[in-house]
Structure 1
């Protein structure tokens, strides 16, 4: 298992319904922010490492379990970690915590590497340096 990277966010009004409660798709956006932060934290900028190499990271699946309501202006921490890595896919898990340290949501995203035409890519063959870096990160605890 790889290391966990935390991302601090403040719930924005635009992420809420008229009652000020976070609307469920906002969590999926937070997962994306946390994933990009995890990569950047480990020296893997998405645009340079993937996009500029002709690799697209597509979402195959998303899961989220909502445990406690969050509201506008709440401070949250989203923890992300890479849990599965293969030559064609990766999976991240996330936990969303409020300022009091209560788990408010948890989930995961699974991704595949494809080229611009949407065809599956073996990242080890297409971008061996990136593959080596991702393997090393995944092996770290």
Structure 2
């Protein structure tokens, strides 16, 4: 299934008074990594919203395990991959590595969404071309 990798450096504002990443910041890192994964597939959120007229892919479940803290100035690598593709939902795994060691692992379940005629957010089948790209070995 499709994979992507990105690097980032831990910023001062990512850290708590103990000089380690404040745990909610990891979820922001992983959300940005999901966006980067779709961009690597050739589908920006702007394209999804403007061209496809869909909302995007809201989160319906997320879980993380923390193995090693990261600190201000650390350079980390986040590896993201699609793990499952359903009719309207899909799974992603993010692994954050610090100095080559797995520091945090996160799984997400997201749903492809649009607004129905009444303006209510609703799941919708993942478009065929995007599904094919998700299932590819990018």
Contact preservation (8 Å) 2:41, 2:133? no
Q: Quote the residue 1:123 is aligned against.
A: 126
Gaps of 5+ in 2: none
The TM-score with structure 2 as length reference comes to 0.87
How far is 1:64 from its partner?
Answer: 0.7
- Greater helix share, 1 or 2? 1
Q: Quote the residue 1:135 is aligned against.
A: 132
Q: Quote the residue 1:66 is aligned against.
A: 66
Q: Secondary structure at the match of 1:30?
A: helix
Q: Secondary structure at the match of 1:27?
A: helix
The TM-score with structure 1 as length reference comes to 0.86
Within 5 Å, give how 1:35-54 maps onto structure 2.
35-48=34-47, 50-52=48-50, 53-54=52-53
How far is 1:138 from its partner?
Answer: 1.1
Q: Secondary structure at the match of 2:16?
A: coil
Give the alignment's Cα RMSD to 1 decimal.
1.5
Contact preservation (8 Å) 1:11, 1:73? yes
Q: Quote the residue 1:79 is aligned against.
A: 79
Deviations 1:99-122 (A, max 9, x none): x20110001111112223212212
Deviations 1:82-140 (A, max 9, x none): 11112211111010001x2011000111111222321221234xxxxxx2233233132
CA distance in 2, matches of 1:133, 1:42: 8
Gaps of 5+ in 1: 125-130
Q: Quote the residue 1:127 is aligned against.
A: none
CA distance in 2, matches of 1:133, 1:122: 10
Q: Quote the residue 1:14 is aligned against.
A: 13
